[in-house]
Structure 1
Amino acid sequence: MRARILAILRIVVLALLGSFLALGALPAQANDNNISAELVAEAPAQPGSTVWLALHFRPGPGWHGYWSNPGDAGFGMELAWHLPDGWHAGTPLYPLPQQLVISGLMNHVYEGDYAVLVPVDVPPGAQTGHSVPVNVDANWLACTDKICVPERATLTQNIAVSDRASDDSDPRFDGWRAALPPPLDRQADFALTPDALRLAIPLPATMALTRPHVFVGQPQLVDYTGAQIFRRKGDTLLVDIPREGLAKSADAITGILKLDDGGNAIRFTAAPGDVPKGGTLVASGDQSARPLAPLWVLLAGALAGGLLLNIMPCVFPILSLKAMSLARAGESEADARREGLAYTLGVVLACVALGALLLGLRAGGSQIGWAFQLQEPGVVLALLVLACAITANLAGLFELPSFSFTRSGGRSSAFATGLLAAFVATPCTGPFMAAAMGAALLLPWWQALLLFAALGLGLGLPFLMLGFVPPLRRLLPRPGRWMETFRKILAIPMGLTALALAWLAWRLGGPLFLGWGLVLAGGLILAFWAWNRGRRKTHIAAMAFFVLLIVLVPFVPRQQAAMEESLLDARSFSPEALAEARREGPVFLWFTADWCLTCKVNENVAIEREATRAAFARQGVIAMRGDWTQRDPVITRFLTEHGAAGVPLYLWYPAGEEAQQLPQMLTPDSLIDLAEAEAKTP
């Protein structure tokens, strides 16, 4: 936002400077301007009819003019008509503008010749047989990528008035009129929320959409660079556009819906009304309008993604908990079935609950994505305390049924293990899972919850199969005294998990916040130990101390650690920085988080390498990093625009081309090969 404001101020200053330089020397003729202009009449006028006039603009090389709503910067054209008595000029009609991003600002411009058509009503009593002068004082802004100059001209046209229709018309009007988006024959509806402009545009389901975009006529109402989400619901096109700007309300919305890159578009007017929810996604932002995969394909992807999470690096720290469940599954057939069901139920319920909370918060306007729970310092602190307590339990310091992984644990232990497994594992986004979770943020709520449930089922499926397939259980070692020793050994990886959470707590909140969490964990462990040993007074004192520390957590000063230095000298991500970098050359953009183990593995394997740095330096590749460790609505919006619900996300921008999305697991030479390919591109 700060970069956008500074860029707008820069353009305003340049425009004011240009106006001061022009004072006293404003051109009398439009052709002296950087954008020349002329006023053209289509044909002689008839009394009681409409004559069409055109303001024909010719930008010089490198210059561009603006649409009626110029976008983030620039100024729209102003017209002051001087007409004979009874003549009336209507609303100017503009051709489809182009999108031009400069310093992260979206501009609606015309870079080549264009004409703005204006209908002029001629009164029935207009005298025929002579010509009448029509004058207009026109003011517009002419800009290049570096400077803007306000320009003006008084344009004059003598229009013949005849009582008969004339075949003598300017042939250029055929092309100019064809460039105007035709008006929609029905009214659209709109609704304003604090975060979005929602449109319901009547559009036949058979009408093709490729790379659609809505140009909103009302200024200061929407985020022009934000991702526009398009959905179809029957013969209605639903559009969600992020809000931004000073305008808080609107009586009506006018605009142009661009259908494709071939110049096809329609003009619409929307009134306040009911905008349905749901619909089938057809496009997001400037991506090609591809319908989402069928629901059954997305469900299969979520199921496969959950299954693969069992072997993803982000789940390794809690494999110790699953290993104990595996061992206990061999005790009896009934116990195995019950524990398999309990574990799977815990996983599925956790996934659905997290998904429902995510959808509810997003519906309320929060810009969050998958793994939002680990972006909250308080949640990380709670996980740290829980991990420390489980480590102490595995080490044998105390026994509690809900934490026990020995025979006394039973179904409650399996259920708790499932809850914890899902809570810690789901922040990762593995193969097959990315498309499903990205779609879940865009689908109707009930379909999204089905995807979350399928993800949980995939994560719990190995244990469910162990419970119901005896041959698989026979592959496991028989239960025995070794399990007690094995349980103590498993305290080591669980302790490493606690250390990782301690590091994350330090990254999110600083050393004091981490220290508070460790004291909290110590108080809880002491309370459990005292309860287990029958020391009631010690237990009560420890619990009271623990509760007091919890109450005071919101008041603990927090200080997020600075982003770690990158070997690639990566720039920090912002839409403005990305737009600037893409003008300089090829760009590698990656999104990461301190809590994402997959991200850290990829960084060690493929990104933060001397060989990668050298290849980028040879080919002039710009590295850019987005840190999603804490909640960032700008990054969340960008992830959603690219169909991603979480990190990691890797994008490669070849010079002058659109982004290529890379796999979520990178090989050591992935980026080196892409960089070297840039050298072979003509």
Structure 2
Amino acid sequence: MPRAFNPAFRYSRTIAALLLAILAAFAALPALANNIETRLVVEGPVAPGGTVTLAIAQQPKPTWHGYWLNPGDAGFGMDTIWTLPEGWSVGRAEYPVPEPLVIGNLMNHVYEGPYAILVPLTVPADAKAGETMQIGLEANWLACTDEICVPEKGTFTAQVTVADADSEPPYDPQFDEWRAHLPAPLAEKGRYALNGETLRIAVPVAPGADVTSPHLFPAADGFAKYIAPQSFSRNGNWLIVETGADDGAASGEPYDAVLRLGDGTGLAVTLEAGDVPAAGEPIAGLPASGGALPGLAWLLVLAFAGGVILNVMPCVFPILSLKAISLAKANEQGAHKDALAYTAGVMVAVLLLGAVLLGLRAAGEEVGWAFQLQEPATIVLLLILACAITANLAGLFEMMLPIGRSSHGSGAFLTGLLAAFVATPCTGPFMAAAMGAALLLPVPDALLLFAALGLGLAFPFLLIGFVPSIRRLLPKPGAWMNTFRRIMAVPMGLTALALVWLTWRIGGEALLALGLVATALVLMLLFETGRRQKLGLYAKGAVLAAFALALVATAIAASMQTDAPAVEDELGATEYSEAALAEARASGKPVFAYFTADWCVTCKVNEATAINREDTKLAFEKAGVVVIRGDWTRRDATITRYLESQGAAGVPLYVWYAPGRDGEVLPQILTVDALTSLASGD
């Protein structure tokens, strides 16, 4: 090996060791709470032709909240589908008085404690006394913390007994308590007036009524700006509210609203266009809980730090060869230009992935971070690309894709694109909260988080490009670079082999055959490119043909019906489902739930070095540990919901349930000692 190569190896090893030490220091993430417990309750028997109240009772766990019928700037209220006997019907749902919560620059209308949505159920007059009928409810709601939201749903049933016509109305003190939290309807209507961007409202309030710490909640969009400050004053029998008008507010339309008072009670009022009295004696409004911009700023810091550490996560190791050559080139030609071009490539890729992710979720798809590697077409494309890059690094052709010698930095830009595309599927320390929040925030704020992640991923190369003292640590360009390039073909070739296995795992033998045939044909075209280049002949035709063939193979893979082969598990794990996890936890035994994917290198490393080991197996068997395995290789909405409920945007995720206790999220880098210690209770 040329002597000049040794410094590069020494420095890269030192830098890698330092970054891995940082990773180990911050590998553990705290567990977040779960969801909102929900049940359907019937107040009691109901006489034929009568009405009984149903309660959809919800209990958010600590740090979580649910939403009012109008959630405000973010979130959504509950959607319900009822299954009722013929002739039975439900009326309009009644929500308790909400409370304001500010997250970032968003005003949310939420419930942070237990609450119930009350629904009237009417029974037909010809219902037979004494019979018991079953009703069903399918409900969808959103559970959120200040950082992450999880769409949840549940199916509930209840028995309703038809009583005699002369029986007493049902009485349940719990329902009285729930009704006490409903807003009291005002018989007299209120007024509102629009004055440009200002909305003035008058709510009728009886003389002498104690009005303290009020807050007005519009019942529908298009009336008031939720985040705009609200000022209150008292003028005789009117409570005057002044706030910002929504851009879509139209004078003449009636609007419903709820006025919350400081003691948690509220008034339901219908507002009609009319004259609003002048402001009177000021009243302090109800301060919203939550935080403003510092919350978003902190999330940006987390996203940036997660991007930096992502450079040394095991899932990123396969593309370090591309980065190493990019660094070597930076010494040789325009370090500033290459660093900026590489950063631009990373940013474009991360923002595109983020935009597609947000778009899919807005369309109702339950996808998470790394969704692109759950698709057969993506895997086939990556297989072809990895083999082409391996051939390029080995010197079989000189069309430097994606690390070309373009004087305009296009090679570094394409390197950044590929680096981000392959690196972002894994989640590292600090990323979970930031990526989870990105699924909750408005699109501009979410894209800002994705941009911070991309900037963190590219940051080490910006430092090398713009800080001469760091750049001087790299060895000087020389003949060693060609040797280094050939050596770097080895890890890239191993990546290609891993993608061969992943192609089989994603889609079985049919997809594997397609991937291998397409790859072989593309390589033949690239070999021909290299031959013509050495003879000084025109070679673009073969390159274009290779591109076209790769796109055709990708399209075919996207249209294929594929089935993944069965997975063997050393620990005898049960495949994850909500019911399986609930049953395991109810058994009174410790539970180890781990969520993995075949495309996640971090997952595979942990499984090989810590999970599927004889010592771990023996310790788990001795302690009676129940193992639950969630395979996220292909898209699975149930697993996606669980990941998000734990504050994780992707895999790996490891959760330990001690008997009778909530889950503890484990570090993303596991060891045999850590797992055996958990099993033994140390």
- The TM-score with structure 1 as length reference comes to 0.62
Tell me the equivalent position of 2:675. 671
Structure 1 residues 70 and 638: CA distance shift in structure 2, 3 A: closer
Alpha-carbon RMSD: 4.2
Tell me the equivalent position of 1:494. 492
Q: C-alpha distance in 1, partners of 2:399/2:575? A: 46
- Amino acid in the other structure paired with 2:309: L
For 1:569-580, list aligned pairs within 5 A: 569-580=572-583
Match of 1:558 among 557, 562, 571: 562
| 2:655 and 2:664 in contact (8 A); partners too | yes
| 1:189 and 1:201 in contact (8 A); partners too | no
Tell me the equivalent position of 2:437. 439
Query: In the alignment, does 2:141 pair up with 1:229?
Result: no
* Superposition deviation, residue 652 in structure 1: 1.6
For 1:340-355, list aligned pairs within 5 A: 340-355=339-354
Structure 1 residues 510 and 447: CA distance shift in structure 2, 3 A: same
SS in 2 for 1:591: strand
Tell me the equivalent position of 1:613. 617
Q: C-alpha distance in 2, partners of 1:396/1:93? A: 76
| 2:403 and 2:412 in contact (8 A); partners too | no
Q: C-alpha distance in 1, partners of 2:353/2:470? A: 31
Q: Greater relative contact order: 1 or 2 (C-alpha under 8 angstroms, separation 6 or more)?
A: 2
CA offset digits 1:617-644 (Å, max 9, x no partner): 2332211111100000111111112211
CA offset digits 1:32-54 (Å, max 9, x no partner): xxxxxxxxxxxxxxxxxxxxxxx
Q: C-alpha distance in 1, partners of 2:528/2:617? A: 55
SS in 2 for 1:478: coil
Query: In the alignment, does 2:550 pair up with 1:655?
Result: no
Unaligned ranges ≥5, structure 1: 1-68, 83-88, 100-183, 233-237, 247-258, 280-288
For 1:174-323, list aligned pairs within 5 A: 197=79, 202-205=97-100, 210=112, 212=114, 217=119, 220-223=136-139, 228-229=143-144, 242=153, 266-267=181-182, 273-274=220-221, 294-323=295-324
- Amino acid in the other structure paired with 1:454: A
| 1:393 and 1:403 in contact (8 A); partners too | no
* Superposition deviation, residue 418 in structure 1: 0.5
* Superposition deviation, residue 524 in structure 1: 2.2
For 1:375-386, list aligned pairs within 5 A: 375-386=374-385
- Amino acid in the other structure paired with 1:390: I
Query: In the alignment, does 2:483 pair up with 1:473?
Result: no
Tell me the equivalent position of 1:357. 356
Q: C-alpha distance in 2, partners of 1:494/1:669? A: 32
Structure 1 residues 214 and 436: CA distance shift in structure 2, 3 A: farther
Q: C-alpha distance in 1, partners of 2:424/2:99? A: 39
* Superposition deviation, residue 600 in structure 1: 1.6
Q: C-alpha distance in 2, partners of 1:561/1:277? A: 53
Q: C-alpha distance in 2, partners of 1:239/1:399? A: 48
- Amino acid in the other structure paired with 1:359: L
- Amino acid in the other structure paired with 1:362: R
- The TM-score with structure 2 as length reference comes to 0.62
Structure 1 residues 211 and 424: CA distance shift in structure 2, 3 A: farther
SS in 1 for 2:475: coil
Query: In the alignment, does 2:632 pair up with 1:639?
Result: no
SS in 2 for 1:645: coil
| 1:588 and 1:650 in contact (8 A); partners too | yes
* Superposition deviation, residue 398 in structure 1: 1.4
Match of 2:607 among 603, 607, 632: 603
* Superposition deviation, residue 204 in structure 1: 3.0
Structure 1 residues 658 and 265: CA distance shift in structure 2, 3 A: farther
SS in 2 for 1:311: coil
Q: How many residues align?
A: 483
| 1:189 and 1:272 in contact (8 A); partners too | no
* Superposition deviation, residue 458 in structure 1: 0.7
Match of 1:629 among 630, 633, 639: 633
| 1:355 and 1:449 in contact (8 A); partners too | yes
* Superposition deviation, residue 216 in structure 1: 7.0
| 1:197 and 1:243 in contact (8 A); partners too | no
Tell me the equivalent position of 1:176. none
* Superposition deviation, residue 603 in structure 1: 1.9
CA offset digits 1:299-323 (Å, max 9, x no partner): 1111111111111111100000000
* Superposition deviation, residue 511 in structure 1: 1.8
CA offset digits 1:509-548 (Å, max 9, x no partner): 1122112112212222333343451477877876776665
Structure 1 residues 461 and 221: CA distance shift in structure 2, 3 A: same
- Amino acid in the other structure paired with 2:674: S
Unaligned ranges ≥5, structure 2: 1-37, 60-66, 81-92, 102-108, 122-134, 158-173, 186-216, 228-288
| 1:428 and 1:596 in contact (8 A); partners too | yes
* Superposition deviation, residue 435 in structure 1: 1.5
